[in-house]
């Protein structure tokens, strides 16, 4: 058939002479162009300004790398979808930019019964965007929806400490906990605890559309449109019962490549670069004009290399410590993240109760480590360092660790696995040491201790499979302790004990650089992922020649 | 030899030879270990000490590029040869026997070709965990199909020739006829196929690395170097430009070689084949 | 002709069955538990088990396979695990974008490749010819994602000519860079094919006759030579187009283009089986149909080819 047709080809012998050097020259030229492109003056031709003007002064355009899976509070567990959920919905309480608890739907609340019972008094002004008032019944419905087994919510744990939910009257709701839990209000500010209107959820069910595709809530922003893999559009809720945002529209673009995002920023089409990739930090931080707009924000997070404490030889504390002492974490931090972050002594990051700024790092002592390695036979077999294939600095960290541990005689094989595989291997303990990073769900030291190192969390968040009765006891006590200073004391003790026992090599708490456009005013990067509702932001068109503005 | 005077073969062959030499003699060419880190010399610009500069953790880019030639060649040659073997086997059986076996094998070829190339490769790379083996398996599993197709048509033409009929009349076995009389006549298209696709296989490995699959750190694969390096393209362009250039020159070299071989060995264009799939 | 087309369409069935089967078992073989992708890091084993039951991962594989096959036959590709939306909707909302990109890439490639090849053929063995052929090979040799980044940097960031990425309002300015990036892969093949076919045909008898009869060179080229040189060029166009439709993953990722390719990489990463299988099936159908179309086009372009 197709073979039956005789195909033609070049009948004339070609005598083309080629110079392979040509290719090289071309690339050298490109390289030259890149390196010579001075950082000043790039923008001089555009009205003498180093930045591009905003395309629209009423719209805040931000971005993230991946399309969120859902906007349904019950199904959301990521940081980006969590941030978006918190724009559309309200909670009983919410986080501000500094991750402090503020009233949201609840005007005020009372605690009783030894901190087991919380009574919330709702704001009578609060309305869903469909016009109906938010009532105590909605709170009950929303929470029960998350707790309902059929919803299969991955955030069920957020509300599982609640025993009963009672709507006293339309504006009063009483939550009773199984046991006192000091950071409980933090849980209520999480996206999973958002209040949803029952009639809208049920309408979506009837129409066969996931609620996460057409969310309706009582937040400051209305969900407008979702073009998957392109953008999500939000509009100011003109009927919002609280302080309304300054800007009219919010657009969240999906830009799947960090370099592309920078190009978009440089052409003025997005309002920030968040976060600045490690490789770019120096360029912006030292730029004569941009450095003013490049800011460092701490993240409530901890990066660590967890040991598989159930697998020999990592069941012995001294073996784990031997590896920890062979690493100079400040130097590694400086190298892989350009110093963006702070070294930690235990899982709790700076800024949270339990972090002890006076505590010293393990003494850097590779000689002692080498001794121990030889003595305990840690050099006998190759150990597996499991990494997620996500950021470049993670794999750089892995390679550096490999080199550092090689110096003390331990041979390491880096196994970089794609995300889901990484998660499964982590969960099933198929590693010796694994990279792990943890971002706060709620701003409390407990969030870094209980899920990661309490023995009851083995098989869930405790991937190190670390079990220590003393650590367990301190964590449990801190959960029930309502006095802030005594609680802080308990957390500090637990944190220090975890550091000493070394179920993980604690690396650092991340900080990130963010560059904002000069025309974006009043933007504050929240300390916790859903700690902003973009209320204060303004865009002020700069006085530059706008005739160069494109599309 | 006339072939050696052909400019495409000359340049393509020179590039290929250079590459093979670089791969074999890599440890003697470079003065740094490819994964020796130097945290005090990160993102150093190209200099006399580091010809291609250093990367984000102070590794010598030149050394990594040279060692990367090993990975690229290993993957390219390996996958291509594996594809060739499977393709020749399937194609010759299919073309020689015809009938039901042919129909069945051709459907399998159809299925393989209809399966989206990069997707199959990604899926296999994910299944067989990380590293270079899955890349090799995946590329072989995809690339044999076009060879089988090509081989089949070649065998179908060859088996109608008189000497094959004569051999059969003398009672030669099928295997003997295939190996002694038919296959030698098909080496030219096979060789061209092999060379042209080599470039493609090397490129596919790079593409996988860009998606975060393939070589494990600290293995110096060009693809992963370009991928990670491209993040620093504004700050330290050399980190990604040199492996990129190496990749481009390599692919160019094998393409030239393939084109040249085609000019010389196959002026009627019997072996003109569509690519296995693209990115 | 009609019976040929019908026969080819019937032959699709076993091939598609094979594709579905491979896709199904490949995705199930992949390590990693979709429950991990669907539940957060703090999910309990109980919740993961519940998810497995809800989506039927706990059933024997052959039962899952049978069920899937049955659903596909009824035209139901299932719901995405990730977004709970119908797979058909996900494909249909992204495919037009992929198609747009593939189509424009092809147009760009044809314009560049065919014209370069034509001129090369008309001026064989001149400097022009050599340079064109060299650059066309260079195009093939440049990694797609790399070329994309370079173009974005120079054209968008430095020259401010076009938006760097995205789909925007669907305007053509968003299409140009990705289309060029993707199309470059075909330019070389097209240029070489065009040049070779043209050279062969230009030397043939009837063209010399036409020229001798006083037809203008332009008409000779367009009317006679090019029409005859078109067949191998059409093959390349068709096959490349088919592979662009299913394989523009890298270009889509670099330019944040909302196409199917980029989505399926996410789906693989999330172990979103219904989306993976559905998209693979969809791509296979497209591939087969385009191949069929090429063969039918042959018969029109060259009356010597008959299918019976």
| Residue B129 touches partner A, C-beta closer than 8 Å | yes
The predicted-structure confidence for A17-49, as pLDDT tens digits, reads as follows 233 333 444 444 454 444 444 333 344 344 457
Look at C280 and B272 and tell me if their CB atoms are within 8 Å: no
What is residue A48's predicted lDDT score, i.e. its pLDDT? Answer: 54
The predicted-structure confidence for A420-461, as pLDDT tens digits, reads as follows 888 888 988 999 999 999 999 999 999 999 999 999 999 888
The answer to whether C15 and C288 have CB atoms below 8 angstroms apart is: yes
Return d(Cα A385, Cα A401) in angstroms, integer: 9
Return d(Cα A321, Cα C14) in angstroms, integer: 60
What is residue A369's predicted lDDT score, i.e. its pLDDT? Answer: 94
Assigned token pair, B188? 């030219």
Using alpha carbons, select from B187, B160, B180, B167 the residue that is nearest to residue B96: B160
Res. B174 pLDDT band, cuts 50 70 90:
confident
* Residue C191 confidence (pLDDT) above 70: yes
Look at B218 and A279 and tell me if their CB atoms are within 8 Å: no
Look at A418 and B57 and tell me if their CB atoms are within 8 Å: no
Return d(Cα A77, Cα A371) in angstroms, integer: 45
Res. B3 pLDDT band, cuts 50 70 90:
low
**In Å, what is the CA distance from C174 to each residue of A435, A546, B86, B230, C156?**
39, 21, 43, 22, 11
Provide, as residue numbers in chain A, all residues whose Cβ is less than 8 Å from the Cβ of C298. 2, 5
Q: Which helix (H) or strand (E) holds A198?
A: helix A198-207
What is residue A322's predicted lDDT score, i.e. its pLDDT? Answer: 94
**Complex-level ipTM:** 0.86
How many C-alpha atoms does A135 have within 13 Å on its Cβ side? 12
Return d(Cα B35, Cα B52) in angstroms, integer: 15
What is residue A6's predicted lDDT score, i.e. its pLDDT? Answer: 29
Return d(Cα B151, Cα B90) in angstroms, integer: 8
* Residue A544 confidence (pLDDT) above 60: no
Given the structure tokens 């084993």, which residue do they identify?
C45
Torsion sign across C-alpha atoms B102, B103, B105, B107: positive
Provide, as residue numbers in chain C, all residues whose Cβ is less than 8 Å from the Cβ of B237. none
Which residues, other chains included, contact A151 with Cβ-Cβ below 8 Å and sequence gap of 6+?
A74, A75, A145
Instruction: Provide the pairing of β-strand A433-439 with A383-388.
Output: parallel
Which residues, other chains included, contact B235 with Cβ-Cβ below 8 Å and sequence gap of 6+?
A279, A280, A282, A283, B43
Which residues, other chains included, contact B157 with Cβ-Cβ below 8 Å and sequence gap of 6+?
none
Res. A59 pLDDT band, cuts 50 70 90:
very high
Exposure b/e, A272-282, CB count within 10 A at least 16 = b: bbbbbbbbbbe
Q: Which residue has the higher pLDDT, C188 or A483?
A: A483
What is residue C134's predicted lDDT score, i.e. its pLDDT? Answer: 76
- Rounded to an integer, the average pLDDT of C35-62 is 82
The predicted-structure confidence for A221-273, as pLDDT tens digits, reads as follows 999 999 999 999 999 999 999 999 999 999 999 998 888 999 999 999 999 99
What is residue B279's predicted lDDT score, i.e. its pLDDT? Answer: 35
What is residue A284's predicted lDDT score, i.e. its pLDDT? Answer: 92
H helices of B211-279, in order, are: 222-229, 238-265
Give the A window 225-244 contacts with B, CB below 8 Å. Answer: none
Provide, as residue numbers in chain A, all residues whose Cβ is less than 8 Å from the Cβ of B39. 331, 335, 400
The predicted-structure confidence for C164-181, as pLDDT tens digits, reads as follows 998 888 888 999 999 999
The predicted-structure confidence for B132-159, as pLDDT tens digits, reads as follows 888 888 888 888 988 898 888 888 888 7
- Rounded to an integer, the average pLDDT of A159-179 is 94
- Rounded to an integer, the average pLDDT of A73-98 is 93
Most confidently modeled range among A276-290, A495-509, B25-39, B220-234: A495-509
The predicted-structure confidence for C270-287, as pLDDT tens digits, reads as follows 888 899 899 999 988 988
What percent of chain A stands above pLDDT 90? 74
Return d(Cα B93, Cα B194) in angstroms, integer: 19
What's the maximum distance between 2 C-alpha atoms anywhere in chain C? 86
* Residue C306 confidence (pLDDT) above 70: no
Question: Looking at A373-480, which runs of residues are DSSP E strands?
Answer: 383-388, 412-417, 433-439
* Residue A417 confidence (pLDDT) above 90: no
* Residue A80 confidence (pLDDT) above 70: yes
Chain A: give the shortest CA distance to residue C296, in Å.
10
Res. A203 pLDDT band, cuts 50 70 90:
very high
SS3 label, residue A295: strand
* Residue A545 confidence (pLDDT) above 60: no
Q: Give the bridge partners for A173, in sequence order.
A: A120, A167
Question: Looking at A418-488, which runs of residues are DSSP E strands?
Answer: 433-439
Return d(Cα A136, Cα A92) in angstroms, integer: 10
What percent of chain A stands above pLDDT 70? 89
Integer-rounded Cα Rg, in Å, for chain A is 27
Torsion sign across C-alpha atoms A204, A420, C274, C240: positive
Given the structure tokens 């404490």, which residue do they identify?
A309
Instruction: Provide the pairing of β-strand A341-343 with A504-516.
Output: antiparallel
Q: Which of B36, B153, B232 sits opposite A279 (nearest CB)?
A: B232
Assigned token pair, A178? 């199984």
What is residue A23's predicted lDDT score, i.e. its pLDDT? Answer: 41
Assigned token pair, B105? 């094998």
Q: Could you say which DSSP state residue A14 is in? A: P
Mean pLDDT estimate for chain C? 83
Using alpha carbons, select from C7, C11, C14 the residue that is nearest to residue C307: C7
Which residues, other chains included, contact A550 with Cβ-Cβ below 8 Å and sequence gap of 6+?
A267, C160, C163
Torsion sign across C-alpha atoms A181, A183, A189, A192: negative
Return d(Cα A135, Cα A195) in angstroms, integer: 10
Q: Which one of C146, C184, C255 makes the best mutation probe of the B interface by having the most chain B beta carbons within 10 Å?
A: C146
The predicted-structure confidence for A278-328, as pLDDT tens digits, reads as follows 888 988 999 999 999 999 999 999 999 999 999 989 999 999 999 999 999
Total residues found in chain A within this entry: 551
Q: Which residue has the higher pLDDT, B268 or A28?
A: B268
Give the C window 80-119 contacts with B, CB below 8 Å. Answer: none
pTM beyond cutoff 0.90: no
Q: Which residue has the higher pLDDT, B221 or A184?
A: A184
What is residue A10's predicted lDDT score, i.e. its pLDDT? Answer: 31
What is residue A46's predicted lDDT score, i.e. its pLDDT? Answer: 44
Res. A61 pLDDT band, cuts 50 70 90:
very high
Q: Which helix (H) or strand (E) holds B60?
A: none
SS3 label, residue C111: helix
Res. C305 pLDDT band, cuts 50 70 90:
low
What is residue A303's predicted lDDT score, i.e. its pLDDT? Answer: 95
What is residue A21's predicted lDDT score, i.e. its pLDDT? Answer: 36
| Residue B116 touches partner C, C-beta closer than 8 Å | yes
Mean pLDDT estimate for chain A? 87
- Rounded to an integer, the average pLDDT of A474-502 is 95
Res. B130 pLDDT band, cuts 50 70 90:
low
Subunits close to C (at least 3 CB pairs below 8 A)? A, B
- Rounded to an integer, the average pLDDT of C243-272 is 85
Q: How would DSSP label each residue in C237-301?
A: HHHHHHHHHHH-HHHHHHTT---HHHHHHHHHHHT-HHHHHHHHHHHHHHHHHHHHHHHHHHHHH
Using alpha carbons, select from A73, A295, A315, A290 the residue that is nearest to residue A188: A73
What is residue B216's predicted lDDT score, i.e. its pLDDT? Answer: 80
What is residue C207's predicted lDDT score, i.e. its pLDDT? Answer: 67
Return d(Cα A386, Cα C131) in angstroms, integer: 49
Q: At what angle do helices B117-127 and B132-158 cross, to 10 degrees?
A: 130
Residue of A nearest to B38 (CA): A400
Res. A128 pLDDT band, cuts 50 70 90:
very high
Exposure b/e, B170-205, CB count within 10 A at least 16 = b: eeeeeeebbeebbbebbebbbbbbbbbbbbbbbbbb
Burial label, A158 (beta-carbon count in 10 A; 0-12, 13-18, 19+)? buried
Q: Which one of A6, A10, A23, A31 makes the best mutation probe of the B interface by having the most chain B beta carbons within 10 Å?
A: A31
CB atoms within 10 A of CB A522: 12
């Amino acid at each position: 058939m197709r073979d039956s047709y005789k195909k033609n080809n070049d009948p004339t012998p070609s005598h083309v002479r080629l110079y392979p050097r040509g290719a090289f020259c071309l690339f050298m030229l490109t390289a030259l162009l890149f390196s010579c492109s001075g950082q000043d003056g790039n923008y001089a031709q555009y009205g003498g300004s180093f930045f591009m003007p905003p395309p629209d002064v009423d719209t805040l355009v931000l971005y993230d790398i991946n399309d969120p899976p859902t906007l349904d509070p019950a199904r959301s567990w990521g940081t980006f979808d969590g941030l978006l959920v918190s724009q559309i919905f309200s909670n009983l309480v919410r986080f501000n930019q500094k991750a402090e608890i503020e009233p949201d739907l609840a005007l005020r609340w009372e605690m009783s019964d030894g901190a087991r019972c919380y009574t919330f008094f709702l704001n009578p002004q609060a309305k869903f965007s469909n016009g109906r008032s938010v009532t105590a019944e909605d709170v009950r419905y929303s929470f029960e929806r998350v707790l309902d087994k059929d919803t299969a919510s991955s955030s069920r744990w957020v509300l599982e400490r609640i025993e009963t939910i009672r709507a006293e009257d339309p504006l009063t709701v009483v939550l009773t906990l199984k046991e006192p839990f000091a950071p409980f209000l933090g849980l209520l500010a999480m996206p999973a605890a958002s209040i949803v209107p029952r009639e809208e959820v049920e309408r979506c069910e009837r129409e066969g559309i996931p609620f996460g595709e057409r969310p309706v809530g009582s937040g400051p922003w209305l969900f407008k449109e979702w073009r998957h893999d392109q953008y999500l559009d939000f509009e100011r809720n003109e009927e919002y019962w609280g302080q309304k945002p300054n800007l009219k529209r919010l657009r969240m673009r999906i830009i799947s490549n960090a370099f592309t995002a920078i190009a978009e920023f440089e052409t003025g089409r997005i309002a920030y670069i968040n976060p600045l990739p490690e490789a770019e930090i120096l360029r912006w931080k030292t730029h004569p004009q941009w450095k003013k707009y490049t800011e460092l924000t701490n993240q409530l997070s901890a990066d660590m290399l967890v040991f598989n404490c159930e697998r020999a030889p990592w069941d012995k504390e001294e073996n784990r410590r031997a590896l920890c002492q062979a690493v100079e974490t400040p130097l590694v931090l400086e190298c892989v993240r350009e110093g963006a972050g702070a070294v930690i002594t235990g899982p709790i990051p700076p800024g949270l109760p339990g972090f002890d700024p006076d505590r010293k790092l393990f003494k850097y002592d590779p000689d002692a480590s080498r001794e121990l390695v030889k003595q305990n036979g840690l050099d006998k077999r190759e150990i597996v360092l499991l990494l997620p294939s996500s950021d470049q600095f993670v794999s750089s960290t892995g390679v550096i660790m490999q080199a550092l541990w090689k110096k003390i005689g331990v041979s390491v094989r880096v196994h970089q696995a794609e995300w889901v595989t990484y998660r499964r291997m982590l969960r099933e303990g198929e590693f010796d040491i694994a990279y792990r990073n943890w971002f706060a769900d709620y701003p409390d030291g407990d969030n870094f201790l209980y899920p990661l190192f309490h023995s009851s969390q083995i098989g869930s968040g405790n991937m190190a499979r670390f079990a220590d009765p003393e650590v367990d006891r301190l964590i449990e006590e801190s959960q029930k302790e309502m006095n802030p200073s005594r609680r802080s004391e308990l957390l500090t003790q637990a944190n220090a004990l975890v550091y000493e026992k070394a179920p993980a090599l604690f690396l650092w708490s991340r900080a990130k650089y963010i560059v904002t456009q000069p025309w974006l005013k009043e933007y504050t990067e929240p300390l916790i992922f859903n700690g902003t509702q973009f209320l204060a932001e303004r865009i002020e068109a700069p006085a530059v020649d706008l005739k160069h503005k494109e599309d | 030899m006339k072939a050696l005077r052909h400019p495409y073969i000359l340049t393509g062959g020179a590039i290929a030879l250079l590459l093979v030499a670089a791969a074999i003699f890599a440890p003697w060419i470079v003065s740094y270990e490819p994964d020796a880190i130097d945290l005090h010399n990160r993102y150093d610009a190209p200099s006399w000490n580091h010809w291609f500069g250093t990367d984000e953790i102070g590794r010598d880019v030149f050394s990594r590029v040279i060692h990367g030639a090993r990975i690229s060649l290993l993957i390219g040659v390996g996958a291509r040869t594996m594809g060739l073997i499977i393709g020749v086997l399937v194609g010759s059986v299919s073309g020689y026997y015809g009938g039901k076996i042919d129909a069945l094998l051709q459907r399998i070829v159809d299925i393989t070709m209809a399966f989206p190339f990069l997707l199959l490769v990604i899926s296999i790379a994910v299944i067989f965990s990380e590293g270079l083996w899955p890349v090799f398996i995946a590329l072989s599993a995809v690339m044999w199909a076009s060879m089988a197709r090509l081989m089949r048509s070649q065998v179908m033409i060859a088996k109608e020739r008189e000497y094959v009929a004569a051999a059969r009349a003398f009672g030669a076995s099928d295997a003997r006829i295939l190996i002694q009389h038919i296959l030698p006549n098909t080496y030219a298209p096979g060789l061209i196929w092999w060379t042209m696709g080599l470039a493609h296989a090397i490129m596919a490995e790079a593409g996988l690395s860009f998606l975060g699959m393939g070589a494990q750190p600290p293995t110096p694969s060009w693809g992963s170097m370009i991928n990670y390096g491209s993040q620093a393209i504004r700050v330290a362009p050399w980190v990604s430009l040199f492996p990129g250039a190496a990749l481009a020159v390599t692919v160019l070299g094998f393409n030239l070689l393939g084109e040249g071989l085609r000019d010389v060995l196959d002026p009627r264009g019997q072996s003109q084949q569509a690519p296995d799939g693209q990115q | 002709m009609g019976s040929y087309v019908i026969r080819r369409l019937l032959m699709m069935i076993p091939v598609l069955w094979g594709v579905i089967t491979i896709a199904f078992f490949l995705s199930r073989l992949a390590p990693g538990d979709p429950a991990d992708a669907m539940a957060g890091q703090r999910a309990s084993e109980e919740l993961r088990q519940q998810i497995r039951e809800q989506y039927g991962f706990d059933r024997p594989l052959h039962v899952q396979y049978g069920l899937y096959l049955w659903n596909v036959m009824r035209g139901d590709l299932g719901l995405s695990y990730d977004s709970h939306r119908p797979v058909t909707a996900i494909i249909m909302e992204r495919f037009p974008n992929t198609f747009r990109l593939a189509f424009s890439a092809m147009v760009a490639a044809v314009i560049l490749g065919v014209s370069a090849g034509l001129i090369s053929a008309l001026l064989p063995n001149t400097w022009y010819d050599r340079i064109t052929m060299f650059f066309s090979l260079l195009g093939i040799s440049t990694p797609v994602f790399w070329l994309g980044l370079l173009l974005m940097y120079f054209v968008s960031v430095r020259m401010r000519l076009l938006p760097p990425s995205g789909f925007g309002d669907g305007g053509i300015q968003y299409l140009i860079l990705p289309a060029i990036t993707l199309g470059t892969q075909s330019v070389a093949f097209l240029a070489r094919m065009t040049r070779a076919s043209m050279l062969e045909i230009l030397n043939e008898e009837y063209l010399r006759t036409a020229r001798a009869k006083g037809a203008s060179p332009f008409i000779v080229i367009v009317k006679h030579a090019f029409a005859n040189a078109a067949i191998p060029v059409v093959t390349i166009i068709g096959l490349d187009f088919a592979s662009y439709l299913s394989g523009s993953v890298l270009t889509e990722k670099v330019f944040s283009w909302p196409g199917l390719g980029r989505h399926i990489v996410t789906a693989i990463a999330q172990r979103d089986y219904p989306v993976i299988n559905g998209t693979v099936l969809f791509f296979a159908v497209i591939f087969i149909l385009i191949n069929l179309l090429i063969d039918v086009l042959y018969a029109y372009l060259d009356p010597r080819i008959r299918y019976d």
